[in-house]
Amino acid sequence: MEQQKNTLADQKRKTVETAEFTEDGRYKRKVRSFVLRTGRLSEYQRQIMNDNWTSYGLDYQNEPFDFTKIYGNSQPVVLEIGFGMGKSLVEMAAQNPDKNYLGIEVHTPGVGACLAYALEKGVKNLRVMCHDATEILRDCIAENSLGGLQLFFPDPWQKAKHHKRRIVQPQFVENVSQKLQSGGFIHFATDWQNYAEQMLDVLQSMQSAVGIRNVSSTGDYIERPDFRPLTKFEQRGHKLGHGVWDLYFIKE
């Protein structure tokens, strides 16, 4: 099947490269503290972030988080990398009060929009970060502390010469697996078939080494589960005949 040229999530692409904030609000390199004077934040988003960061935001630190202290309970923590504008993440948190959610996004307007929607929905089991995801995984997340990892529609880096920039690589899967509790999950979704195939190859090749297994009955992809909200981009893509591939692995 020919690789799709028009994708349904182009407006929701996320990267996790280390950088400093650019003028359009994208993260370029490591920062020591949260900065609000970046990106195309609306005044409303800026006010939301200023007023609610202590309740919803977490800053990078060079030691593992105490999730029980942060959330006030010992419920499983699900980490999502690159939540875009945060609508689906907030909806999942609202629908699953028995879980805690931690979202990472490097686009400050997306963080602002997520916080605004979380306040609107009255969600309390959600925290967000605006920092490089690889550094957070390395320094802030203890081993065997996550109930799951979600990565939905990451930047596909379409050109073959750029595939090495894709976040889903063996080292990434190994790092994530170390952070998962037994029974924790890895859930990837993409609307690029070529990337879906690479994701599957990487996960399948790492199964024995890191102790994960594919839950797909066909040994490859699963149907979109009900617990992953259907985004407007997917709805539009379905109408245009675009495909979406979900991969779901469990740590033994």
Domain at 200, CATH number: 3.40.50.150
Alpha carbon distance 97, 124 (integer Å): 8
User: Which amino acid is residue 169, in one-letter code?
Assistant: Q
Is residue 62 a part of any domain in this protein? yes
User: Which of 59, 98, 155, 220 is the catalytic position?
Assistant: 155
pLDDT score for 41: 78
pLDDT score for 226: 92
Confidence class for position 35, pLDDT limits 50, 70, 90: very low
Structural domain boundaries enclosing 75: 10-251
- Please give the distance of CA 139 from its chain centroid, rounded to a whole number: 17
Q: Are 4 and 191 in contact (CB under 8 A)?
A: yes
pLDDT score for 16: 38
Q: Convert 172-235 into a string of H (helix), E (strand) and C (coil).
A: HHHHHHHHEEEEEEEEEEECCHHHHHHHHHHHHHHHHHHCEEECCCCCCCECCCCCCCCCHHHH
Confidence class for position 157, pLDDT limits 50, 70, 90: confident
Is residue 5 a part of any domain in this protein? no
Question: pTM for this structure?
Answer: 0.83
Alpha carbon distance 252, 231 (integer Å): 30
Q: Are 41 and 118 in contact (CB under 8 A)?
A: no
Is residue 4 a part of any domain in this protein? no
Confidence class for position 38, pLDDT limits 50, 70, 90: low
Is residue 204 a part of any domain in this protein? yes
Is residue 21 a part of any domain in this protein? yes
Is residue 27 a part of any domain in this protein? yes
Q: Is the pLDDT of residue 222 over 60?
A: yes
Residue 24 annotated to the active site = no
Residue 158: what are its φ and ψ, rounded to 5°? Answer: -60, -40
Is residue 2 a part of any domain in this protein? no
When divided into structural domains, the chain yields a total of 1
Is residue 236 a part of any domain in this protein? yes
